[in-house]
Amino acid sequence: MRNTRAFVLFSVLGLASISYSAAGNAFDVTVTSSANPPVTISGSSRDYQESLEALEKTVPLAYNESVKRMINYYSTSQKSRFSRVLGLAEYYFPIYEKIFRERGIPEEIKYLSIVESSLNPYALSSAQAGGLWQFLEPVGKIYGLNINDTIDERRDPYLACNAAASYLLDSYEMYKDWVLAIASYNCGRNNIRWAMEKAGGATDYWSLREYLPVETQNYVPAYIATVYLMNNARKHGIYPKSPDFSVYTKEIQVQRPISLSAIARAINVSYDELGVLNAAYKNQFINGSAEAPKRLIVPAIKPYIFDALAAVLTQPSTVETELKLVYTIPVEAKEPVRGFAQPKINSYVPRNTYVMYRVQAGDTLSSIAEKFEGATEEEIRVINKLKHQAVKPGMVLRIIQG
C-alpha cells in the first residue's frame, strides 16, 4: 500500500535510486529519468525478455530498461533476500494460490506480497502499514481485518490475502486492467484517477507512469522483476533457504482461551515456530470461544497427538488451563502371529519422554509395559502411584518411553 517505504539515494549507473521498506525487507530501484513505454532490449537482455514472455499468463509482463535494471539489482545485490523468500514461498504461496483461485485473481499476483513484505508477517513500514500484504490500519479494517491490542490479522496469511484479493478485485472492476490494479495497490485509486486526467484519458500503466508518484513508477517494474527472479533464481545462483518452521501444517478451530506457550509445551514443539505460524496473536494468546472460534496453525505432529490436542481445544471453555493431553499410542491393526511377541511401540514418540496412555480392555501392567520400549511394570506402578497391580479400562497412565 502507499507510503510504505522510506527512500535512500543510491547511484545505479547514475540513473536510479533505491528505496527500502522500514522493516528492512523489500528493496526497489527508482528510475529518475522520464518513464518510457515498453521497449525491446537486445543483446544480453534477450534471456530476460524471452523468459518473461514465457512466464506471462494473465498479467502482462512488459520488458523495458526499468525492468532490466530491477532484475540486475535483485539478481546481484538481493540474493540473500530472495534465497529466504524462496524458502518462505513454500509455505505462503499454496495459501495464496488457493485463495486467488477461489476469488478469480490471477495466480501470478501472489508475487506482489514479496514486493510488499518479503513474506515477513511482522513487516511494518514507517507509515505503519503492516503484515504480509502491508495494509494501513484504516484500509485493513475496511477490508475486514481485525486490528486491536490483542490481534493483528494483517499478519494472518489467510485473512490478509483475502483482504488483498478484495482490494485488487475492486480496482480491477474500476480499470479492467490488472497492471493498473497492481499500481493502485501501491499508490491508491485517487492517484490513478489523477494520472489519467493528466495523461489526457490514457488508461494503461506505461502511458500513465510519468504522472504517478515516483514510488509507483518503480512498483510495477519491481513486481515484474520479482516474477522473473522467483522463476529463474537458479540461473543466478540463488537457492531456497529453508524457513525456521515447518511448511507442513494443520489447522484447529480453537473454542477456548489458551496461550501459545501452553500449546507448545503440550505438543513439544518450538515456541518460536508456533509463534510465527500464528503471528496474528499479538500477546501470543488465543482468545477463542464457541461463538467466535480462532484459527490455530500447528506444525506437522503425530496424528494421535494432533487428535488429542484438537479434542481439548474444540471443547468450549471460558477459562485458560494448562493443557493435559490424553491419547492412545497406535499399534498395527493386525493379529499377532502365534509364537511371536507383539512388536513393541518404538517409532511413534521420542525417547526419554513421557506419554499418556489410556488403558484398553484386556490390558494388564505387564502387557502395557511390553508396548513401550524400556518400560517396566514396577516403574509404571510407581510413577502412577498405583496401589494395586490391576488396571481398569479408561484409566490414564503416565509412561516413560525410552
| Together in a domain, 150 and 266 | no
Q: What is the pLDDT of residue 382?
A: 83
For the ranges 90-94, 168-172, 287-291, 361-365, the lowest mean pLDDT is seen at: 361-365
53-104 pLDDT, tens per residue?
A: 999 999 999 999 999 999 999 999 999 999 999 999 999 999 999 999 999 9
| Together in a domain, 333 and 287 | no
Percent of the chain residues topping a pLDDT of 90: 64
Average pLDDT of the chain? 85
Buried b (16+ CB within 10 A) or exposed e, 354-386: ebbbebeeebebeebbbbbeebebeebbeeeee
Confidence class for position 172, pLDDT limits 50, 70, 90: very high
| Together in a domain, 337 and 285 | no
Q: What is the pLDDT of residue 330?
A: 63
Confidence class for position 346, pLDDT limits 50, 70, 90: very low
- Evaluate if residue 369 carries a pLDDT over 80: yes
| Together in a domain, 131 and 230 | yes
| Together in a domain, 194 and 304 | no
| Together in a domain, 45 and 172 | yes
| Together in a domain, 180 and 128 | yes
Give domain status of residue 321, yes or no.
no
More confident residue, 364 or 331: 364
Query: pTM value?
Result: 0.77
| Together in a domain, 182 and 92 | yes
* Residue type (1 letter), 192: I
Q: What is the pLDDT of residue 373?
A: 73
| Together in a domain, 170 and 286 | no
Confidence class for position 7, pLDDT limits 50, 70, 90: very low
- Count of the separate structural domains present in the chain: 3
| Together in a domain, 69 and 181 | yes
Q: What is the pLDDT of residue 320?
A: 84
| Together in a domain, 263 and 147 | no
Give domain status of residue 96, yes or no.
yes
- Evaluate if residue 349 carries a pLDDT over 50: no
- Evaluate if residue 272 carries a pLDDT over 90: yes
**Domain extent at residue 334:** 328-402
Domain with residue 17: its CATH number is 1.10.530.10
- Evaluate if residue 12 carries a pLDDT over 70: no
| Together in a domain, 153 and 104 | yes
